[in-house]
Homo-oligomer: A and B are copies of this chain.
Protein backbone atom coordinates (compact mmCIF):
# COMPACT_ATOMS: atom_id res chain seq x y z
CA UNK A 1 0.00 0.00 0.00
CA UNK A 2 2.75 2.43 0.87
CA UNK A 3 2.46 5.69 2.73
CA UNK A 4 -0.30 8.22 2.35
CA UNK A 5 0.59 11.01 -0.04
CA UNK A 6 0.26 14.76 -0.17
CA UNK A 7 1.01 17.09 -3.07
CA UNK A 8 1.23 20.86 -2.87
CA UNK A 9 1.37 23.14 -5.89
CA UNK A 10 3.06 26.36 -4.87
CA UNK A 11 1.96 28.91 -7.44
CA UNK A 12 2.31 31.99 -5.23
CA UNK A 13 5.69 33.49 -4.46
CA UNK A 14 4.72 35.21 -1.27
CA UNK A 15 6.37 34.83 2.13
CA UNK A 16 3.15 34.17 4.03
CA UNK A 17 1.93 31.56 1.56
CA UNK A 18 5.37 29.91 1.43
CA UNK A 19 5.23 29.72 5.21
CA UNK A 20 1.84 27.98 5.08
CA UNK A 21 3.01 25.58 2.36
CA UNK A 22 6.16 24.54 4.21
CA UNK A 23 4.33 24.27 7.50
CA UNK A 24 1.88 21.80 5.94
CA UNK A 25 4.62 19.98 4.01
CA UNK A 26 6.93 19.44 6.98
CA UNK A 27 3.98 18.65 9.24
CA UNK A 28 2.75 15.94 6.88
CA UNK A 29 6.26 14.53 6.41
CA UNK A 30 6.75 14.37 10.18
CA UNK A 31 3.56 12.32 10.36
CA UNK A 32 4.91 9.83 7.86
CA UNK A 33 3.31 10.99 4.64
CA UNK A 34 5.07 11.18 1.27
CA UNK A 35 5.20 14.87 0.35
CA UNK A 36 5.82 16.45 -3.04
CA UNK A 37 5.97 20.21 -3.54
CA UNK A 38 5.49 21.45 -7.11
CA UNK A 39 6.93 24.93 -7.54
CA UNK A 40 5.36 26.79 -10.45
CA UNK A 41 5.02 30.38 -11.65
CA UNK A 42 5.84 32.91 -8.90
CA UNK A 43 6.37 29.99 -6.53
CA UNK A 44 9.58 29.20 -8.40
CA UNK A 45 11.09 32.29 -6.74
CA UNK A 46 11.20 30.37 -3.47
CA UNK A 47 13.65 27.85 -4.91
CA UNK A 48 15.68 30.29 -6.98
CA UNK A 49 19.16 31.30 -5.90
CA UNK A 50 19.53 34.90 -4.83
CA UNK A 51 21.67 36.02 -7.76
CA UNK A 52 21.70 38.45 -10.65
CA UNK A 53 19.69 37.18 -13.62
CA UNK A 54 21.31 36.76 -17.05
CA UNK A 55 18.20 36.74 -19.21
CA UNK A 56 18.36 37.68 -22.86
CA UNK A 57 15.78 39.85 -24.56
CA UNK A 58 14.30 43.04 -23.17
CA UNK A 59 11.06 41.49 -21.88
CA UNK A 60 12.69 38.58 -20.06
CA UNK A 61 15.38 40.91 -18.70
CA UNK A 62 12.70 43.27 -17.40
CA UNK A 63 10.74 40.42 -15.84
CA UNK A 64 13.80 38.97 -14.16
CA UNK A 65 14.72 42.38 -12.75
CA UNK A 66 11.33 42.80 -11.13
CA UNK A 67 10.71 39.18 -10.31
CA UNK A 68 13.69 38.51 -8.08
CA UNK A 69 14.54 35.01 -6.91
CA UNK A 70 15.62 33.93 -3.45
CA UNK A 71 13.70 33.68 -0.20
CA UNK A 72 14.86 37.13 0.90
CA UNK A 73 12.82 38.83 -1.80
CA UNK A 74 9.44 37.15 -1.20
CA UNK A 75 6.75 39.81 -0.67
CA UNK A 76 3.66 39.48 1.53
CA UNK A 77 0.24 38.75 0.01
CA UNK A 78 -1.11 41.62 2.15
CA UNK A 79 0.40 44.71 3.76
CA UNK A 80 3.53 44.41 1.63
CA UNK A 81 3.94 48.21 1.65
CA UNK A 82 6.99 48.35 -0.60
CA UNK A 83 8.81 45.82 1.53
CA UNK A 84 8.14 47.14 5.04
CA UNK A 85 5.44 44.55 5.72
CA UNK A 86 7.73 41.76 4.58
CA UNK A 87 10.56 42.90 6.87
CA UNK A 88 8.08 43.20 9.72
CA UNK A 89 6.80 39.67 9.13
CA UNK A 90 10.34 38.27 9.07
CA UNK A 91 11.01 40.00 12.39
CA UNK A 92 7.73 38.68 13.87
CA UNK A 93 8.60 35.15 12.71
CA UNK A 94 11.97 35.43 14.41
CA UNK A 95 10.43 36.79 17.62
CA UNK A 96 7.89 33.95 17.65
CA UNK A 97 10.68 31.45 16.98
CA UNK A 98 9.04 30.40 13.70
CA UNK A 99 11.76 29.14 11.32
CA UNK A 100 12.54 31.20 8.22
CA UNK A 101 11.74 29.82 4.76
CA UNK A 102 15.45 29.04 4.31
CA UNK A 103 15.41 26.99 7.50
CA UNK A 104 12.16 25.31 6.47
CA UNK A 105 13.75 24.24 3.18
CA UNK A 106 16.51 22.50 5.17
CA UNK A 107 13.99 20.80 7.46
CA UNK A 108 11.82 19.75 4.50
CA UNK A 109 14.80 18.10 2.79
CA UNK A 110 15.77 16.30 6.01
CA UNK A 111 12.23 14.91 6.06
CA UNK A 112 12.57 13.77 2.42
CA UNK A 113 10.04 16.24 1.04
CA UNK A 114 10.38 16.12 -2.75
CA UNK A 115 10.89 19.42 -4.63
CA UNK A 116 9.74 19.54 -8.26
CA UNK A 117 10.33 22.62 -10.46
CA UNK A 118 7.78 23.29 -13.22
CA UNK A 119 9.54 23.21 -16.59
CA UNK A 120 6.73 25.09 -18.37
CA UNK A 121 7.22 28.14 -16.14
CA UNK A 122 10.99 27.80 -16.40
CA UNK A 123 10.68 28.11 -20.17
CA UNK A 124 8.19 30.97 -19.97
CA UNK A 125 10.29 33.01 -17.55
CA UNK A 126 13.67 31.97 -18.88
CA UNK A 127 14.73 30.34 -15.61
CA UNK A 128 17.52 27.80 -16.04
CA UNK A 129 18.28 24.76 -13.87
CA UNK A 130 21.54 26.35 -12.73
CA UNK A 131 19.73 29.29 -11.17
CA UNK A 132 17.65 27.04 -8.89
CA UNK A 133 18.86 25.78 -5.50
CA UNK A 134 20.49 22.35 -5.30
CA UNK A 135 17.65 20.96 -3.18
CA UNK A 136 15.43 20.55 -6.28
CA UNK A 137 14.88 16.83 -6.94
CA UNK A 138 13.22 16.94 -10.34
CA UNK A 139 12.26 19.14 -13.27
CA UNK A 140 8.90 18.20 -14.69
CA UNK A 141 5.62 19.32 -16.22
CA UNK A 142 1.95 18.79 -15.58
CA UNK A 143 1.93 15.04 -16.42
CA UNK A 144 4.22 14.31 -13.48
CA UNK A 145 1.98 16.36 -11.22
CA UNK A 146 -1.22 14.56 -12.28
CA UNK A 147 0.50 11.20 -11.86
CA UNK A 148 1.40 11.99 -8.25
CA UNK A 149 -1.75 13.86 -7.28
CA UNK A 150 -4.22 11.26 -8.54
CA UNK A 151 -2.98 8.93 -5.77
CA UNK A 152 -2.71 11.67 -3.15
CA UNK A 153 -4.97 11.86 -0.10
CA UNK A 154 -4.41 15.61 0.13
CA UNK A 155 -3.78 17.83 -2.91
CA UNK A 156 -3.51 21.56 -2.39
CA UNK A 157 -3.01 24.58 -4.66
CA UNK A 158 -1.40 27.46 -2.77
Q: Kindly list chain B residues whose C-beta atoms are within 8 Å of the C-beta of A23.
A: 120, 142
What sequence of 0s and 1s flags, for each residue 77-116 of chain A, a beta carbon within 8 Å of any chain B beta carbon? Answer: 1110000000010011101101000000000000000000
**Are A11 and B4 closer than 8 Å at their CB atoms?**
no
Q: When A63-B88, A120-B23 are in contact, do A150 and B154 touch as well, CB less than 8 Å?
A: yes
Residues of A within 8 A of B (CB): 4, 6, 9, 11-13, 16-17, 19-20, 23-24, 27-28, 30-31, 33, 40-42, 57, 59-60, 62-63, 66-67, 77-79, 88, 91-93, 95-96, 98, 120, 123-125, 141-143, 145-147, 149-158
B residues within 8 A CB of A154?
A: 146, 149-150, 152, 155
Tell me whether A42 and B78 are in contact (CB under 8 A): yes
How far apart sit A96 and B13, CA to CA, in the bound complex (Å)?
21
Which of B79, B93, B150 sits near A67, CB closer than 8 Å? B79
The CA of A154 and the CA of B7, in the complex, are separated in Å by 10
B150 pairs with A33, CB closer than 8 A = yes
A87–chain B nearest beta-carbon distance, Å: 10
- A78 / chain B contacts, CB cutoff of 8 Å: 13, 42, 67
Cα distance A31–B92 in the bound complex, in angstroms: 41
Q: Is the CB of A31 within 8 A of B96?
A: no
